[in-house]
């Protein structure tokens, strides 16, 4: 729901990540190019992967020749590569045996279990990029290894586009619920973008329901609104796939707390806290975080579940600016 802007600094970090990929592995580690080269050594007339051997060889060799560009391909470039590979074989005709062999040779499993976890840990993304309601954590399994309490989704599924299985911009950190809901279906939501339109939608509280709640104090009177901000995304399909409205309608207790906090906290009171406890509260931002119980800045929305929801409800209530 909240996209990541790909500026020059971010893209440079992706290129550096790709350049260093698998470089710290043991000397007996079989790198993708070596694995793909071995995979392309098909002899005999028998269809090894359920398709013509010449097609399989051409497909694999195309990956080898364009490997670095495929790794770094952004959304638009991946679309172009899809059209290019489609001239070899249509994605709907790729046998399971073949795509699994390509994915294995490209070392997706190794990338998922080590290098990608290291990158995500440094990026501090700790929430599912689809629903924003579940944790996606990287924890220390041992002193030298990490464990991901998350799943990686392929924007373009590896069963249809195995050549994109390790492309950085094709990998989205998500929760298991969203991964099961999406499966191999495709969504028009792009996590990475080059423009400043970062939000797909925004949350608020229906003003009439707020007035009613203030009279009745009945939590069921609270009506949460979801406003569509990005018209290029089919919000109905997105909601259907990830059950967004139902997930957030279950958060009325959080909205209730923010409404009650609004009655207690106000700007003069916040300033008093800063003035009186300046060693503890260094700025207004920390006060805001303490008040709403989550991050208060849009750029921090991916650092904790429900951060986007909490911030936007709090702003709609004018609890924070």
Question: Would you give per-residue pLDDT tens digits along the chain (321 residues)?
Answer: 899 999 999 999 999 999 999 999 999 999 999 999 999 999 888 899 999 999 999 999 999 999 999 999 999 999 999 999 999 999 999 999 999 999 999 999 999 999 999 999 999 999 999 999 999 999 999 988 999 999 999 999 999 999 999 999 999 999 999 999 998 888 989 999 999 999 989 999 999 999 999 999 999 999 999 998 877 788 889 999 999 999 999 999 999 999 999 888 776 776 676 567 666 767 778 888 988 999 999 999 999 999 999 999 999 999 998
Would you tell me the crossing angle of helices 284-292 and 252-264 to the nearest 10 degrees? 130
pLDDT at position 277: 64
Number of other CB atoms surrounding residue 105 within 10 Å: 24
pLDDT at position 207: 96
What residues pair up with 146 in beta bridges, in sequence order?
A: 140
The single residue listed with the structure tokens 């916040």 is: 270
Q: Identify the three-state secondary structure at position 285.
A: helix
Over its C-alpha atoms, the chain yields an Rg (Å, rounded) of: 24
> Per DSSP, which regions of the chain are E strands?
4-5, 137-140, 146-149, 151-154, 171-174, 192-193, 201-205, 224-228
Q: Could you tell me whether strands 171-174 and 151-154 are parallel, antiparallel, or unpaired per DSSP bridges?
A: antiparallel
Residues 1 and 201 sit within 8 Å (Cβ to Cβ): yes
Q: Identify the three-state secondary structure at position 203.
A: strand
Q: Hey, where are the domains in the chain?
A: 4-193, 201-316
């Amino acid at each position: 729901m909240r996209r990541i802007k790909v500026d020059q600094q971010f893209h440079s970090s992706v290129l550096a990540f790709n350049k260093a990929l698998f470089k710290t592995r043991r000397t007996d580690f079989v790198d993708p190019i070596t694995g793909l080269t071995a995979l392309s050594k098909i002899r005999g007339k028998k269809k090894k992967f359920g398709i013509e051997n010449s097609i399989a060889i051409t497909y694999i060799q195309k990956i080898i020749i364009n490997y670095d560009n495929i790794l770094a391909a952004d959304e638009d470039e991946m679309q172009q590569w899809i059209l290019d590979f489609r001239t070899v074989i249509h994605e709907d005709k790729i046998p399971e045996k073949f795509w699994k062999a390509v994915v294995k040779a490209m070392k997706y499993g190794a990338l998922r279990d080590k290098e990608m976890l290291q990158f995500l840990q440094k990026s501090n993304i700790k929430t599912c990029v689809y629903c924003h309601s579940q944790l996606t954590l990287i924890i220390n399994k041992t002193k030298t290894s990490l464990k991901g309490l998350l799943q990686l989704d392929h924007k373009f599924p590896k069963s249809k586009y195995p050549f994109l299985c390790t492309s950085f911009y094709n990998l989205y950190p998500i929760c298991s619920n969203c991964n099961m809901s999406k499966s191999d279906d495709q969504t028009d939501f792009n996590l990475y973008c080059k423009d400043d339109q970062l939000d797909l939608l925004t949350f608020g509280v229906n003003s009439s329901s707020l007035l009613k709640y203030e009279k009745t104090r009945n939590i069921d009177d609270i009506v949460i609104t979801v406003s569509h901000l990005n018209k290029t995304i089919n919000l109905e399909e997105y909601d259907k796939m990830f059950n967004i409205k139902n997930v957030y309608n279950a958060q009325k207790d959080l909205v209730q707390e923010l409404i009650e906090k609004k009655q207690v906290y106000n700007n003069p009171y916040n300033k008093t806290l800063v003035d009186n406890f300046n060693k503890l509260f260094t700025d207004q931002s920390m006060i805001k975080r303490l008040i709403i119980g989550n991050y208060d800045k849009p750029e921090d929305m991916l650092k904790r579940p429900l951060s986007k929801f909490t911030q936007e409800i709090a702003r709609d209530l004018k609890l924070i600016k």
